[in-house]
Every structure is written in structure tokens, then in C-alpha cells.
Amino acid sequence: MMSVDRAKNQVLAVNGGDPAKGRPNPPMYPGGMEIGPEEEEAVLEVLRSKRLFRYYGPNAGPSKVEALEKAFAAHMGTRRALAVTSGTAALICALQGLGVGPGDEVIVPAYTWIASASAVMAVGGIPIMAEVDETLTLDPADVERRITPYTKAIMPVHMRGAPCRMDALTAIARQHGLTIIEDTAQANGASFGGRRLGSIGDVGIFSLQFNKIITAGEGGVVITDDDQIWQRALMFHDVVGGQRNNIAPAEILWGVNFRMAELLAAVALVQLKRLDGLLDAMRQRKRMLKDGIAPVLAAKGFRFREMADPAGDAAIALVFFVDRPETAHWAAGALKAENINASVLYSPDRSDYHIYPHWAPIMNQKAWTPDGGPWRWAQRPIEYTPDMCPRSLDLLGRAIHLDISPLLTNEDVEEMIDGITRVVEAA
Ligand SMILES: Cc1ncc(COP(=O)(O)O)c(C=O)c1O
């Protein structure tokens, strides 16, 4: 419980009082912080076997990468999975799987890691930014407005653990004959309508980079029920994937090398077993924190981020909107002083590759060659302007983000409730 001294202490830490939270924030690496003897043993097993490469080695034991793919597909509820080197590589393989190519438009959210858009450009496609709504994920109504005859796919990104409005987005895609590629890099294991994210669209991708829910340091996975998408992704991720997998010569396409290493797969396999336990732990802490601060937010007229499916939230973060950016900045600063890890999601003057106006190389249509980037293949004039998704910027500029680590103790959460209550009251 909160100490009596702290409860009595009503002076905010920004004004010289003691911080509400006694301990610093646990590092926000949910799976990363769990790495222990099981991961060590799994890595040693690979090293001892000298089977470091997926497809061959001196000792022909079972491949860890193949085992990871089987386990991932089973866990997420798809027929196929392909393990690759990163989430970005997974996006590129998935886009190749879908047949997105030069000049094709792909609708991406205004708020996502820049890699979602870079992957589209890597296959020659044109990212088209659309608004996010109060879920901070794609606004289906705005997606519909941005569809043109050149749109090929929609990329819902389940940001900060929260499922997109998959029912509405799926209906729009069906109506317009578009495909859906789900970027589940930040929502591993979360769900919508009881189905795991990544398994709902035509193809889904995951990242296993170190700050994701489960991790192997780096890595990525593509999942799909569609054999053709899987086979195309398989060929693209491995230069000789076509020959290696006995694909008919006439169907073989060229590929690059995004093959996952056995050492990464060994770690990822152990981490996958930890996934649902991590989600349970984060959900329990988030529920407690949310219930605890709901009264003070309601009193101030501030609202939580909406959830398209609250039961499916991965619960890595709690986000609420305040009235103005100035309030958000003051409150985030005051919360940090209380030892509470708060941040404002968007500032015009703080570079952050999660929000489109800060994607300078894309906004300025920078190319790798003097002849121009993918925009030279665009089938209509494309212009990006900082104000093209004003609602997203308004929401993100008023959004306060709190990490929900599975390592938070009950005492931590109680102190957070105390600190947030005091700061919001004073806001
Ligand atoms: C939403 C989103 N998409 C894609 C990626 C790319 O993943 P990776 O860093 O593994 O390439 C990330 C994470 O970095 C991400 O957060």
C-alpha cells in the first residue's frame, strides 16, 4: 500500500514534493526481461549441435526455424507461417506475397513506425497516409475516402497493443476488392473478436525486435492462410527458395535473403511460450490502473483511448486524451517527476518516426537514385503535406501514453494511481 507519508504529501514532485512512485519504472521490454535459463539452454542446444543454418549443417537435427513457424501458425490460428530476419522484412515479404508492386497504392495509418511505409516503398509501392481515430488506429471512414483506382491494399497497424477496427476494415476491403496486410509488430498475441491479430487479414506480420512483447533481439514472422501468398513470400525471403522447395520452374520468382537464423528461432520458440502469460500480467495491471484513474479523468472530462475490442488489447500501454497539447506536455513532465513513465505521443518540434509529418524522407519524396523513388511509378500526382491528417495530429498531440510493464508491482500501480490522480487534478 501507499505509504502514509506519501498519501499525506500533496505537493507535486514538479513543485518540490516527494515523487508518488518510490521506484523507477521497470524497463519496458516485456519478453526481453524474462530471458533466462530456458533461452540460454535453447541457444546452447543450437551451438552444441552446430546446426546454425535452417536448411543444412553437419548434424541434421530438426530445424528451430521450422519449429518456430509451426508453433507460430498454431498459436495465431493460421495454416502458414514464415520466419524472417525482422518485422520490416516480414512486411516486404508479405507485400511481395500479395503482389503489391510499382505504382500500387497502399493505405497506411498516420500513426505507425515508419517501417510500415518504408516496406511499401521497398516494393515500389506508394504509401497513402490515412487518419487514425480515437483508437489511435486506422479510421475506417477515412480509409474509404482515400481509396483510388490505384489502391491495392490496406495496412491496419495495431498500434501500442490495440486492435484495429477489423470488422469495418475487412468490409471496406471486400467491397473495394482490396487486400489487407495486418502489421501486428506491436500487438503480438492480441485479438479482435476472439481471433488473433495478424490472422484476420489476407496476411499478417510480427516483429521480434527487442522492445516488442516477445523478442529474439531481432526477427519477424509472416502468417497467412493463403498458400499462394505464403509461397511467394517464401521464394522472396530466400534467393533459392523456389528450387529448395520444389516449386515448379515456371512459377519460380527471384528472391533476396531474409532467412531467419537458427539461434534467433531457438530464443523465439521459448519466448512464444511466455506470450500469453505476459499478456495476462499486463492486462491485470492495466485493468487496475485504468479503474484507479477513471474517476479523476471523468471528473476532468478527459477520455481514455477507445478500444475496438477491449478484451483483445495486448495491454502494453494505457493512453488517455487531455484537452490541449499544452496540458499534455505539462502533465507528462509532472508525471515524469513523480517517477511515472509518461510521454506525449506527438509534438511538432520533437522528431519521432512514428508520426507521418516527421517522416521527412517520405514527406519530401527522397529517392535513392537521381531518377526518383517509387513516386515515378505513381499513377496520379502524389503530394504529402504536414496537414493531410489533422485529426490524427490533434489526437496524438493530446495523448498521454503510459507503459504497462508486466514487472509493475501492486504497490507500483497504487503509487501510479496516486501520482496520476494528483497530476490530473492539478492539470
Ligand atoms: C508498427 C511497426 N511496424 C513494423 C516494425 C518493424 O519491425 P522491425 O524493427 O523488426 O523491422 C515495427 C517495429 O520496429 C513497428 O513498431
Check which CATH number belongs to the domain holding 133 and give it: 3.40.640.10
Residue 288 and residue 413 in contact, taking contact as beta carbons nearer than 8 Å: yes
Is 220 close to ligand 1, i.e. is its CB under 6 Å away?
Answer: yes
In a domain, 228, yes or no: yes
Specify the pLDDT at position 46. Answer: 96
Residues of the chain with pLDDT under 50: 1-8
Pocket test for ligand 1, best of 88, 121, 203, 271 (most atoms within 8 A of CB): 88
In a domain, 316, yes or no: no
In a domain, 413, yes or no: no
In a domain, 340, yes or no: no
Specify the pLDDT at position 318. Answer: 98
Dihedral sign for Cα atoms in the order 343, 346, 347, 349: positive
Distance from the CA of 118 to the center of ligand 1, in angstroms? 11
For the CA of 186, the closest atom of ligand 1 is: 16
Specify the pLDDT at position 4. Answer: 42
In a domain, 289, yes or no: no
Is 219 close to ligand 1, i.e. is its CB under 6 Å away?
Answer: no
Is 170 close to ligand 1, i.e. is its CB under 6 Å away?
Answer: no
Specify the pLDDT at position 176. Answer: 98
Clarify whether 336 is annotated catalytic: no
**Ordered strands of the 126-130 beta sheet:** 80-84, 220-224, 203-207, 179-183, 151-154, 105-109, 126-130
In a domain, 368, yes or no: no
Is 207 close to ligand 1, i.e. is its CB under 6 Å away?
Answer: yes
In this structure, which residue's CA is closest to atom 7 in ligand 1? 87
For the CA of 218, the closest atom of ligand 1 is: 10
Max distance between CA atoms of the chain, in angstroms, equals: 76
Distance from the CA of 88 to the center of ligand 1, in angstroms? 6
* Strand locations in 103-251 (E): 105-109, 126-130, 151-154, 179-183, 191-192, 195-196, 203-207, 220-224
In a domain, 251, yes or no: yes
Dihedral sign for Cα atoms in the order 250, 254, 257, 260: negative
| Residue-number span of the structural domain to which 160 is assigned | 37-272
> Is the pTM of the predicted complex or chain greater than 0.85?
yes
Cell 495465431 found at = 76
Specify the pLDDT at position 31. Answer: 98
Specify the pLDDT at position 219. Answer: 98
Is 215 close to ligand 1, i.e. is its CB under 6 Å away?
Answer: no
Is 184 close to ligand 1, i.e. is its CB under 6 Å away?
Answer: no
Specify the pLDDT at position 10. Answer: 82
In a domain, 402, yes or no: no
Specify the pLDDT at position 1. Answer: 42
Query: Considering 21, 64, 152, 212, which one is annotated as catalytic?
Result: 212
Structurally, how many domains does the chain consist of?
1
